[in-house]
Structure formats: structure tokens, C-alpha cells
Chains A and B, each alone.
Chain A
Amino acid sequence: MSDRDIDAMLNRAAEKAPTVDPALLDRIAGSVGASIRPVRPLPAAWILATGLAAICAAIATLGAARAGLHGIEKLTAIERAVIFPTLGVLLWLAALVSAREMLPAQRRWGNPRVLLAVAIVALEAAFALLFHDYRATRFVARGTVCLAVGLLHAIPAAVAGWLWLRRGFAVEPVAAGLATGAIAGLAGVTMLELHCPNLEALHVLLWHVAVVPISAAAGALWARWRQASRTTAGS
């Protein structure tokens, strides 16, 4: 039996469509009609992404300005030229993936899990290339402070990002939560690079970068919890 024969059989089977109860269709049309009003289509994904990236960059910059721009002051010109463009590109890519997750049926472009892996690898590579001071002075005490500060800045970025994209519709809520968490985490890392004057390689490689996966995981868990609570409420 050839593919063509199977095709023909499936086509014949698909033609024999059972009818849908006209009363059901009238009921659906009635429910939709009861709340119909004009809506403005959401802007293109790249516009939403640009707005989201700008919001996250603003939160990181304001946070660092408030806490002191000690990190950027201590960085050399080359370090600045590598770190901030890398963060900028990652922020925009993460914003684009987040925005696309909120618009159903977008062409396949970037997966939140791949984005997370790329962001971590790119940051680790950039920091490993630039920082060669391998001392670990008060490694855990200083590290946990930076991790907490980074995450505290990721939270408002995540909330602002969620508000910015709230009119979208996520067909895969956990993936959307992961992407939004990842961009919020990148905002946290950006704040730390502007603020933290500790340029010890291990400190930056572990505690600064850890903000991204922790924030992404929190975003995914929050989305899963929300989905589960909606499912429970709907049953």
C-alpha cells in the first residue's frame, strides 16, 4: 500500500464529517456576541520584544544607579566593550523569545530552553575570557549577597515583563514563564555587572551567572503553578 493510497483513504475518511449540533453553534455565537467589542491587534513580536528589553535594561540601570555604579567604574574599557554588548544582545534575544511565546502560531524561532542554555554559556565564556583573578575571598558570604541582590532586581523585571506581555496568550505557559524568568535574570546580572566591584573570576562565574537559571526556573515553576491552579479551578 503506497502513501498515495493511505492519503486517499484518509481523505475519504475526513470527508465524512459528523455534523455539529446547530444549537451548540448558536450558543457559542451567543456567548461570543455578548462580549464582542473592537480590539486592537497586538504589535509585532519585535516591537513587544524591544519594549520588554528596554524595561528590563531600565530596571537594571536604575537599580545599579541607586546602589552605586562601582562595578562599571572598576571595569576596563575592553571588559565593558565585551560584557555590556553581550548582555544587550542576550536581553534582546530573550525578549524576542518571550514575546513570541505570547503570540500563538509564530514561526519556530528560538526555544526558551535553548535560549537559557545559550545565555548561560555566553556569559560564562565572556567572564572566563575576561577575569583571571582566581582568589575566592569570602566566597560564600559575598556570593550570596550578590545572588540575593541580582534576584531582588530580577523580581521587578519579571513583574514588569509579565505586565507588558499580559495581553498575549501563551499556548505553552511553562515555556513562556521560563523565557520571562530568563530575561528577568539577565536584568539581574546586568545590574550586578554595573554595581558589583568584585571581579574575582569564581565569584562572577558562579554567583552572578546563577541569577539567570534560578530566575528562569522560578518563572517556569510560577507558570506551572498558575496553570495547575487554573486547571483545578476549571474542573
Chain B
Amino acid sequence: MHPAGDLEELMARYQGGDLAAATSLIHRLSPQLHRFFLARYASRHEADDLLQETWLRIHEARRTYRPGEPVLPWLYAIARHTAVDHFRRASRLAMREVSAEDLDRVAPPEDSTRTPDLETLLAPLPESQREVVAMLKVSGMSLEEVARATSSSVGSVKQKAHRAYEKLRAVLKGTGVERRRAGGLP
């Protein structure tokens, strides 16, 4: 996580043509953007491409950032747009929603004490819920900020997060993660 004021100041300097501020933003925010793309079913290679394309679009659209406004919702709105375009281009927008039967993916295969990675945990969720949970957990944005980034209302974001947790609860129950947790394992 980054102090919000710090990002806003860097963004304002980037708009002013400060290359050091742009480089700093790229290095600080790229890991979470990359993670966000991976959580949306992108492969590592696709996530690299999406990251590059997102920064180019951010660069084109940088004048649309209003100084004083939170940076992350603005940034994620563009990242989301880039991802949607990418998946449309690859004819994968209406891609698989992993069914509840694919739950063996969620269970840690070898080491049962290991926490599954985020991509595996989010895999059973539909696209819209996965996106909301990824934004909340990867970027640490508030519900209000996620609502801005996804052009939706706070109520809708809350509902998606709630449904995602319900689904995850059902999934984890079936995979034995809960049993291990009850048995004292992490």
C-alpha cells in the first residue's frame, strides 16, 4: 500500500512533465496492477502485455486525472478498460467461469499447510466478483474507490463482494481448507 497523498503528489508531478515522478509511479504501482491482471485469468505473458498497454493508455489519458482526486480508482478504471479491450480482442471476454466442480484447483495440491495463491482462490468466482475482490485485496482500495473504478455504485460493489465471500465459503468448505483451519493449520 502507498500513502494516498504521496501518489497524488507524484501524479501531479507526472502531469507537470516530471520523468522521475512517472518512473516512481511505474515502479510502485506496477506490481499491484500486474497482480490485478493475473487475478483476471491473464497468463503471466498476457499480464506483462496488459501492464505495458495500461501504462501507455495512462500516459495518453494523464490529463484526465484531476489533481486532489484519489489516484488508484482513476488508474484502475483505465486498467480495467485495457483488460476488457484485451479480452475482447482475444475473444475471451465471455471466458470460462470456473464451475464449483473445479474446486480441486482451490485445494493446495502438495503442501496442505500452504495458503492457496490469490489467483487460485479467486478462480471459482465470476469475472465481476473476481474483479471487485482483486481490487479490494490487491490495491487496498475502499468500497467507494472500487465503485469509482468500476463505474458502479457502492451498493453494487458491496453486493458483489458479499456474493464472492459466500461462494468462497462454499468452495472452501468443500475443499477441506476449513477442516484444516479447525485443526489448527493456517
Contacts and interface: CB of A to CB of B under 8 A. Distances in A.
- The secondary-structure label for the interface of chain A is loop
B55 A28 contact: yes
Contacts, number: 158
Interface residues of B, number: 67
Contacts of A108: 147-148, 151-153
B117 A13 contact: yes
Nearest to A228: B88
**Which bracket fits the contact residues of A?**
35 or more
Contact of A32 (B55, B70, B172): B55
A21 B48 contact: yes
Given A10-B133, A11-B137, A32-B59, A104 B74 contact: yes
Interface in B110-166: 115-118, 120-121, 133, 137-138, 147-149, 151-153, 165
B78 to A, nearest CB: 6
Given A14-B137, A38-B17, A102-B64, A33 B23 contact: yes
Interface string A131-160: 000000000000000000000000000000
A191 to B, nearest CB: 31
A5 B15 CA distance: 41
Contacts of A24: 30, 48, 51-52
Contacts of B186: 12
A17 B35 contact: yes
Contacts of A167: 63-64
A102 B151 CA distance: 12
B41 interface: no
B63 A39 contact: yes
Contacts of A39: 15, 17, 62-63
B66 A13 contact: no
A13 B34 contact: no
Contacts of A163: none
Interface stretch (A53-61, A73-81, A168-176, A197-205): A168-176
B26 interface: yes
Given A27-B52, A107-B148, A6 B169 contact: yes
Contacts of A234: 85, 89
Contacts of A40: 15, 63
Contacts of B22: 29, 32-33, 36
B66 A103 contact: yes
Interface in B18-71: 19, 22-23, 26-27, 30-32, 34-35, 38, 44, 48, 51-52, 55-57, 59-67, 69-70
A203 to B, nearest CB: 38
Interface of B: 15-17, 19, 22-23, 26-27, 30-32, 34-35, 38, 44, 48, 51-52, 55-57, 59-67, 69-70, 73-74, 76-78, 80-81, 85, 88-90, 115-118, 120-121, 133, 137-138, 147-149, 151-153, 165, 168-169, 172-173, 177-178, 181, 186
Interface of A: 1, 3, 5-6, 9-14, 16-21, 24-25, 27-29, 31-33, 35-42, 44, 102-108, 167-169, 171-172, 227, 230-231, 234-235
